[in-house]
Amino acid sequence: MKIMLAPMEGVVDHLMRDMLTRVGGFDQCVTEFVRVVEQKLPKKTFYRICPELANGGKTPSGVPVRVQLLGQHPQWLAENALTAIELGSPGVDLNFGCPAKTVNKSKGGAVLLKDTQTLYDIVKAVRSAVDDSQPVSAKIRLGFEDKSLAIENACAIAEAGASELVVHARTKVEGYKPPAYWEWIAKIKSHTSIPLVANGEIWSEQNALQCKQESGCDNLMVGRGALALPNLAKCIRDGETPMPWPEVAALLIQYSGFEIYGDKGRYYPNRIKQWCGYLKRQYLEAEVLFNDIRRLTNAQEIVDVLRRQTELESYAT
Ligand SMILES: Cc1cc2nc3c(=O)[nH]c(=O)nc-3n(C[C@H](O)[C@H](O)[C@H](O)COP(=O)(O)O)c2cc1C
């Protein structure tokens, strides 16, 4: 079984990847998408989204991080895939699932799921450009409005030579609302032999077991679930019990140190609130914390609240 940490633009940056892979259980990460229009991007764009390139394409705890590209032009995607590989990305991933409106206007992401031929052309061009030793993976949803092209799209991506296919088991229109249609991954599996990774709505060990059963797929990718429960990958892999709140609070403080030091605190207030928003699903304490920090915009004030709250809790226990 392989467990991957999902790419999440604006949420899972290199600091979050560092922290979650230190907690452990992950075999691989994928970066937030690098948007490719009609140009060869400068190296600094790749280093900004994937600082791990300076560390051999791995997080500090040694988990490989693959660069993800998003765009519509086969040749430009191929050129930029070459740059990512030259800089040390362990393979390259292609995003065919992003629902964002601005992305779709420029015809990248999920809108391409309406156009099987373009999916094929993109994968083929990238596969031909990149050395055979380097994986070229793709990430899709089951379709844009409906699932009528799900199997055709997966088969086209496989025929074009992709090494692996992550399937987020919902259409673009279904967004992020439960359920995820894991049984559709089994349907895809019965039509193609490309290695598959099941994704969508895995929040617990129990969900992971059910997803594996319904999809027939051993490899999993988890996104929001790992933010709600930082040791989710270990719960799935080793049957670990969910991390208790004091350990999560310690991670929040550690992450605050990383974020403020790493990005000079610019993104910190939003990032920590976003993360708390996910933690609320698993921990009542996160709800209290979230209410205490939601109106704060200053990084130091937020850290002070965090420290105060965790000190109070350690007195109470
Ligand atoms: C805030 C957010 C940002 C995302 N950014 C990306 C992205 O950059 N690339 C991508 O392929 N998928 C992206 N996704 C989709 C996730 O990788 C994943 O497919 C989706 O959240 C379903 O998995 P989950 O139920 O485990 O969260 C994003 C999802 C969210 C919620």
pLDDT tier for residue 262 given thresholds of 50, 70 and 90 = low
In 3D space, the residue among 277, 268, 262, 278 whose CA is nearest the CA of residue 302 turns out to be 268
| pLDDT reported for residue 311 | 73
- Using 50, 70 and 90 to split pLDDT, how confident is the model at 264? low
Is 201's C-beta closer than 6 angstroms to any atom of ligand 1?
yes
Residues that are catalytic: 98
Q: How confident is the model at residue 313 (pLDDT cuts 50, 70, 90)?
A: low
Q: Give the model's pLDDT for residue 303.
A: 87
Mean pLDDT confidence for 172-200: 98
Buried b (16+ CB within 10 A) or exposed e, 43-55: eeebeebbbbbee
SS3 36: coil
Among candidate residues 208, 256, 260, 198, the one with its CA nearest the CA of residue 229? 208
Nearest CA to ligand 1 atom 23: 200
Ligand 1 atom having least distance to the Cα of 33: 8
Distance 228 CA to ligand 1 centre (A): 14
> Quick one: which of 310, 262, 304, 269 has its CA closest to 17?
262
Q: What b/e readout covers 237-258, taking b as 16+ CB neighbours within 10 angstroms?
A: beeeebbebeebbebbeebbeb
Ligand 1 site, residue 33, Cβ cutoff 6 A: yes
Using a pLDDT cut of 70, give the percent of the chain over it.
94
Distance of CA 196 to the CA centre of its chain: 16
Q: pLDDT tens digits, residue range 36-68?
A: 998 999 999 999 999 999 999 999 999 999 999
- The two beta strands, 196-199 and 220-222, are parallel
Question: Using an 8 Å Cβ cutoff, are 137 and 91 in contact?
Answer: yes
Domains by residue range for the chain, with CATH:
3-238 (3.20.20.70), 245-316 (1.20.225.30)
Mean pLDDT on 295-315: 81
How far is ligand 1, taken at its centre, from the CA of residue 100, in Å?
11
Confidence category of residue 213, pLDDT binned at 50, 70, 90? very high
Ligand 1 probe mutation, 5, 9, 36, most atoms within 8 A of CB = 9
Q: What is the 3-state secondary structure (H, E, C) of 81-142?
A: HHHHHHCCCCCEEEEECCCCHHHHHCCCHHHHHHCHHHHHHHHHHHHHHCCCCCCEEEEEEE
Q: What pLDDT does residue 102 have? A: 66
Which residue matches tokens 């190296």? 43
6 lines ligand 1 (CB under 6 A): yes
Ligand 1 proximity of 139 Cβ (cutoff 6 Å): yes
Across 77-97, average pLDDT = 98
Give dist(CA 52, CA 60) in Å, integer.
8
Rg (CA), the chain: 20
Stretch 258-267: mean pLDDT, rounded? 68
Would the CB of 98 count as within 6 Å of ligand 1? Answer: yes
Beta bridge partners of 69: 34, 94
Q: Mean pLDDT in the chain? A: 93
31 Cβ closer than 6 Å to some ligand 1 atom: no
d(CA 80, CA 67) in angstroms, rounded, equals 10
How remote is the CA of residue 174 from the centroid of ligand 1, in Å? Answer: 13
Which pLDDT value is given to residue 237?
98
58: which DSSP letter?
A: B
Angle at 183 (CA atoms; ends 177, 189), nearest 5 degrees: 125
Total-model pTM: 0.95
pLDDT at 139: 98
Give 7 Cα–ligand 1 centroid separation in angstroms.
6
Three-state SS sequence of 300-314: HHHHHHHHHHHHHHH
Greater confidence (122 vs 297) lies with 122
Which 3 state secondary structure label does DSSP give 298?
Answer: coil
User: In angstroms, what is the span from residue 50 Cα to ligand 1's centroid?
Assistant: 17
Instruction: Count CB-CB contacts under 10 A for residue 34.
Output: 24
Per-residue model confidence (pLDDT) at position 107: 77
Q: What pLDDT was estimated at residue 261?
A: 66
**Whose CA is closest to atom 2 on ligand 1?**
8
Give tens-digit pLDDT for 67-85.
999 999 999 999 999 999 9
In the DSSP assignment, the letter for residue 10 is T
Residue range 244-261, pLDDT digits in tens: 999 999 999 888 887 666
- Determine the average pLDDT of the residues in 287-302: 90
Length of the chain: 317
The response to whether residue 202 sits with its C-beta less than 6 Å from ligand 1 reads yes
Please give the average per-residue pLDDT across 9-28, as a whole number: 95
Nearest CA to ligand 1 atom 21: 223
The pLDDT, as a whole number, for residue 266 is 73
Arithmetic mean of pLDDT, 177-201: 98
